[in-house]
Amino acid sequence: MAIFRAGGKAFACICLLCIIGFQGLCMQGEITKSVFGTMPDGTAIYIFTLQEGALKARIMTYGARLVSLEVPDRNGKVADVVLGYDSLTPYTADSKTYFGAIVGRYANRIGHGTFLLDGKRYHLPKNDGDNTLHGGTVGFDKRVWTAHEIPHGVELALISKNGDQGFPGTLTAQVRYTLTPDALKIEYFATTDADTVLNLTNHSYFNLAGEGQGNILNDVLTIPAERYTPVNAGLIPTGQLAPVADTPFDFRTPTPVGKRIDQDNEQLHFAKGYDENFVLNRRSDGQSLHEAARVLDPQTGRMLVVKTTQPGIQFYSGNFLDGTTPGKNGHIYGKHAALCLETQHFPDSPNHPDFPSTELKPGQTFHSITEYIFSTEK
């Protein structure tokens, strides 16, 4: 007999239920829900804990954030491998890191905070110098999402009204987090009532040795991409799709993150390390999962493989972490304390017609999948 927890109450599943179509329910791991904190207006923020085998993930409704992700190492020792905070208040006060958040309506940057769509120019709040970053000053990371349990996970939803942060159309977004014994899957859906642009991703920071356990410069990274999108000094793509060959951005074979990070390279100088979009080698249908990256921590043997349906991935080496705010367990997150692997469409795509389109129209449903698959090497 298996136990399914819903809304804090436990229900017994018997074989008869499996016979009539509740197999997934009966095989589901434990899901619990509790209050993580309250917003200044009194709105409760809930956190959902998912457990499948040795993996445990916690997702909260503020920013639809991945708060923690516990993964075993080669010896079976479990550690939380994502950066974050122990309570709600530091998350609401943090306007820089986006720890674990779903970012949108447009993840990454839009140059000069403006774009043209259907012959009309739209202007967005500038929160990154002259540019708009991760949806503006009040992006999806700062919104309270509604949530409910689903088999093996949680689904979160958000309505972004027409004109929200300057974007056209009322957008309805759903994000599903589901857990298996070896993977965390994030599935994105969105619809709109008017033409708009959209780019959604998760902004988790990974340290496979465990959050707060040194830096990621010795992590061995592979990104199967032959091209990347160079940027200007404002970190806005120039429009080129440049070859990675003979550059510090060639991760087609496994390479330690820190091996070339200090090379005299203009792109590395602009970002103070890696903060680049890679053009993934993907199947022609654009809907199949393909490998976007893999990371090995030699110390613990933990390996992360990222698969996605998206055309790009942003590799960010935690260059702007400065240790000014203590993280979980009082840990100080300094420069390169973690890395981000954000599956996405390309930055500033609305201003680059040759990039894969990020336009979403009424009657269409945006759908993408990203999987974070964990294993160990001896």
ω into 105 cis (within 30 of 0): yes
Q: Which residue has the tokens 């959050």?
A: 211
- Sign of the alpha-carbon torsion through 278, 311, 161, 175: negative
What is the C-alpha separation between 211 and 197, in angstroms, rounded? Answer: 34
What is the C-alpha separation between 3 and 11, in angstroms, rounded? Answer: 6
What is the C-alpha separation between 80 and 116, in angstroms, rounded? Answer: 42
Structure tokens at 256: 């330690």
Instruction: List, by residue number, the catalytic residues.
Output: 203, 342
Closest among 323, 304, 324, 326 to 315, alpha carbons compared: 304
What is the C-alpha separation between 83 and 69, in angstroms, rounded? Answer: 9
Phi, psi (rounded to 5 degrees) for 153: -175, -155
Cα separation values, 190 from 51, 118, 233, 239, 371, Å: 27, 20, 32, 27, 18
Three-point CA angle 374, 330, 104, nearest 5° = 55
Output DSSP code: residue 246: T
Long-range Cβ contact pairs of 352-355 (< 8 A, separation 24 or more): 352/237, 352/239, 354/239, 355/229, 355/237, 355/239
What is the C-alpha separation between 337 and 350, in angstroms, rounded? Answer: 32
What is the C-alpha separation between 125 and 248, in angstroms, rounded? Answer: 33
Phi, psi (rounded to 5 degrees) for 268: -70, -35
